[in-house]
Structure 1
Amino acid sequence: MSASIETYRAQFPVLAQQLYFNHAGVAPTSLRVAAAVREWMDDVVQHGVKHERGWEARAEQARGLAARIIGAAPEEIAFVRNTSHGLGLVAEGLDWRPGDEVAVATAIEYPSNVYPWLHLKDRGVEVREISAPGGGVTPEAVAAALTPRTRLVAVSSVQFASGFQTDLEAIGALCERAGVLLCVDGIQSVGCTQVDVKRCRIHFLSADSHKWMLGISGIGFLYVDQALLPRLRPVLVGWRSTTDAWNFNRSHFELRPDAGRLEEGSHAFTGIYALGAALELLLEVGMPTIEARIRAVVATLDEGLKELGCTTGPSPEHRAGILTFLPPRGEARTLAAWLGERDVSLSLRRGRIRLSPHFYTSPEDAGRLLQEVRGFLGR
């Protein structure tokens, strides 16, 4: 590994204690992010509200970084608490009519991308199943699910359990031809792979920072295509939603024209400072570099696990940063627990062990993990 990547590894002290292959679950955050949180806390402790303008400037800087990492404009970004919050704002804010349909693969999606759509039942909206027998959503399956009543397709960019990467560009083109909205749960891709919402014709994307973005829980962002903003009714409104937000001497209810209309009140500055620092680190390394390094480690793991007789997935053409596997003998749950006792951080999802390295995961880390699996199988 290059010296620069070793420097970044030093930002994550957890790596000295654990083999960390759980970025699709909860990632460790960096010393840089922790310092950003302390910076705001120290400021408010020592100075109160004196530097409030600086806080607001940092929030706008973080908004710009969020826009940059997905190829959007800052005016199309709203801060949200988490991915579920952003998807809920979309589900509850659109002007649904009885008989409308949402196409979603409820059998494989994470609940955050299922429950907001099911919750629309009392408004007459029906959920239409996208078939996904292979553990992922394909353009062909989406096309088969569309009907004249379909108004929106909801899909994850990468499926949390299988690791199957969705072909968003093909599905976006399909939705555009059909006149259907595309809403994406982006938490398993932003910070892991290169994301371009414009190229993929995505109308809405929600993601929070505690996974691949290497941030903390409780903060994320929602992208809303500029052309869709007038059609998305804010579920909650407050002083910050309006065009004259800082004038507290009058009531002037005029919603902002940008995505800031979805932010009803005071910012969570600890989270926003953390988000900004996390995104700054990722963009500093560069998303092409990050994606290439993650894919290289996943390929190494794939090859090594197959040599040990394990069954792996998804196939190279359908994967991003997640690799799942089953041991050739014994239960996956037993192996996962055994690895956990040896300070390997990973997840068990739907009966398979899920590995998710990041850009600073070294070839040596991959080798040590494979050695641990080898030790288990040789008991």
Structure 2
Amino acid sequence: MTRPLESYRALFPVLQEQLYLNHAGVAPTSLRAAEAVRGWMDDLVYHGISHERGWEAHCERIRALAARILHAESGEIAFVRNTSHGLGLVAEGLDWKPGDEVAVASSLEYPSNVYPWLHLKDRGVVVREIQTPSGGVTPEAVAQALTPRTRLVAVSSVQFATGYRTDLEAVGALCERAGVLFCVDGIQSVGCVPVDVKKCRIHFLSADSHKWMLGISGIGVLYVAKEVLPQVRPVLVGWRSTTDAWNFNRTHFELRSDAGKFEEGSSAYPGLYAMGAAMELLQEVGVENIEARIRELLARLEQGLLELGCEVGPAPEHRAGIFTFLPPGARVRELGAYLSEHHVAHSVRRGRIRVSPHFYNLPSEMDRLVELVRDFRA
């Protein structure tokens, strides 16, 4: 990729009014994604379903693109409504036995990666806590949480509140040695850092497109490794779950053998078209380039905030796209309100300011944030 990253800013008009540093919350989507959705809408408005086969073919290209981004196979990718939907399909679809355990850092994780496992209590499944004194899930903590009854380990690739990046490769290797299933909430990593589900020995990964992927809410992907696909029973089934889906003249109930069995009905074309355009943009820029740019921006921000006496985290070696800080005096809510007044999109999570820039943000915007924090203190 030789095109300057700054040149992509024109695709994101929101940058004209905001210093946008909340991609870990809800990201702005691009003009390309909006154009893709309008194109499909115009097709429907003017031509009805005349080009439905073309829509379906395009969605299969999007599935293949998602597979490439995750280093998976197309048959291992299902389209889901959101991260919670995908994790719920896994939680409800496995054949649990009373006494089975799920290891999860429930005190730290986003609720989407806690509630599906707690919901299994009436099936006799026990949630076992992974300890997180450092603000993240470490391989050592996972090892300590494992017992002979552990069936599955559930982690976020990056913790939403602290920004701590999980060593997925090390945890995946640990799970493989223990014969344990490995499930990942990937929403805080897919789109900002490379993700390789095979290298990390991940069995399940769910992520929706409205954060780092730069898509829109209501659409995402679920990866299910082909070797465990037979172990997961679809919670919902419909015409699309079957091997002869487009033949409406007979009833032939035979479930698909690939991840398509989790898609029970009609496709969410607007969301898929938006997500497809967003993923094409990520591929064009290059996820490795995105990761390098974000790392550069956060290093610059860290230096400026440290000079102001702020407490910052996570450490560079545990960092993906999320950066948190605590100003001297800890007037977090007041600072958050001040930043909002000055059109800085950010979040406050568990008593800290959380910022999350993307590849098109500028070093000068990091300097601007530091200036605002300095002015607030004054």
CA distance in 2, matches of 1:295, 1:6: 16
Contact 2:110/2:160, CA 8 A, preserved across alignment: yes
Q: Distance in 2 between matches of 1:75 and 1:349?
A: 37
1:177-218 deviation line (CA, Å, top 9, x unaligned):
000000000000000100000000000000000000000000
Q: CA separation in 2, counterparts of 1:121 and 1:152?
A: 15
> How far did residue 3 of structure 1 move?
5.8
Q: In the alignment, which residue of structure 2 is the partner of 1:197?
A: 197
Classify 1:144/1:197 alpha carbon distance in 2 versus 1 (closer, same or farther; 3 Å).
Answer: same
User: 1:356 maps to which residue?
Assistant: 356
Q: Distance in 1 between the 2:364 and 2:30 partners?
A: 21
In 1, are the aligned partners of 2:83 and 2:187 still within 8 Å (CA)? yes
Q: What residue identity is the alignment partner of 1:162?
A: T
Residue 114 of structure 1 corresponds to 114
> Cα offset for 1:4?
3.0
Corresponding residue of 2:329: 329
Aligned twin of 1:70: 70
Asked if residue 156 in structure 1 is aligned to residue 156 in structure 2, the reply is yes
Partner of 1:44: 44
Letter of the 1:84 partner, please give it: S
**2-structure distance, mates of 1:105, 1:218:** 26
The 1-side partners of 2:22 and 2:376 are apart by: 20
What is the aligned-residue identity percentage? 73
User: Which string of whole-angstrom CA distances, capped at 9 and with x for unpartnered residues, describes residues 283-329 of structure 1?
Assistant: 00001100000111011111110011100001111111111000012
Tell me the distance in 1 between the aligned counterparts of 2:171 and 2:285.
29
Paired residues, number? 377
TM-aligned CA deviation for residue 370 of structure 1: 1.0
Equivalent residue, structure 2, for 1:187: 187
Cα 1:376–1:321 change in 2 (3 A) is same
TM-score, normalised via structure 2 length: 0.99
1:251 is aligned to 251
What is the letter of the counterpart of residue 305 of structure 1?
L
Deviating 4+ runs (over 3 angstroms): none
- What CA deviation, in whole Å up to 9, does each residue of 1:262-291 have, x standing for no partner? 000000000000010000000000011000
**Residues 72-87 of structure 1 aligned to structure 2 (within 5 Å):** 72-87=72-87
SS at match of 2:182: strand
| Number of the residue aligned with 1:225 | 225
SS in 2 for 1:226: coil
Q: Secondary structure at the match of 2:11?
A: coil
Q: Which amino acid aligns with 1:265?
A: G
Q: Does 1:263 align with 2:250?
A: no
Conserved 8 A contact 2:6-2:362: no
Partner AA of 1:291 in structure 2: E
Root-mean-square deviation over aligned CA pairs: 0.8
Q: Secondary structure at the match of 2:177?
A: helix
Aligned to 1:169: 169
Partner of 2:234, secondary structure, is coil
- Structure 1 CA distance, aligned partners of 2:360 and 2:128? 40
Aligned mates of 2:245, 2:339 — CA distance in 1: 52
Partner residue in 2 for 1:147: 147
Q: Deviations over 1:226-281 (max 9, x none)?
A: 00110100000000000000110111111111100000000000000001000000
Distance 2:103 2:59 in 1: 35
> Counterpart of 1:11?
11
Q: Please say if residues 26 and 211 of structure 2, whose CA atoms lie closer than 8 Å, have aligned partners that are also in contact.
A: yes
Shift of 1:330: 4.4
Q: Counterparts of 1:200 and 1:82 in 2: how far apart (Å)?
A: 22
In structure 2, what is the Cα distance between the partners aligned to 1:330 and 1:244?
A: 60
Once residues 215 and 193 of structure 1 are traced to their aligned partners in structure 2, the CA distance between those partners, rounded to angstroms, is 16
Q: How does 1:286-301 map to 2 (within 5 A)?
A: 286-301=286-301
> Given the alignment of the two structures, is residue 32 of structure 1 paired with residue 32 of structure 2, yes or no?
yes
Q: Which moved more, 1:257-266 or 1:367-376?
A: 367-376
Structure 1 distance, partners of 2:5, 2:186, is 25
Q: 2:319 corresponds to which letter in structure 1?
A: R
Q: Which residue identity does 2:324 align to in structure 1?
A: T
Query: SS of the counterpart of 2:369?
Result: helix
CA distance in 1 between partners of 2:174 and 2:5 (Å): 39
Q: SS in structure 1 opposite 2:153?
A: strand
Partner Cα separation in structure 2 for residue 15 and residue 275 of structure 1: 20
Partner of 2:215: 215
CA distance in 1, matches of 2:332, 2:195: 32
Per the alignment, residue 237 of structure 1 pairs with 237
Cα drift, residue 51 of structure 1? 0.2
Q: Distance in 2 between matches of 1:292 and 1:131?
A: 30
One-letter amino acid matched to 2:189:
S
Question: Which residue in the other structure is 2:375 paired with?
Answer: 375
Q: Report the secondary structure of 2:155's partner residue.
A: strand
Q: Tell me the distance in 1 between the aligned counterparts of 2:9 and 2:51.
A: 33
**1:370 is paired with a residue of what secondary structure?**
helix
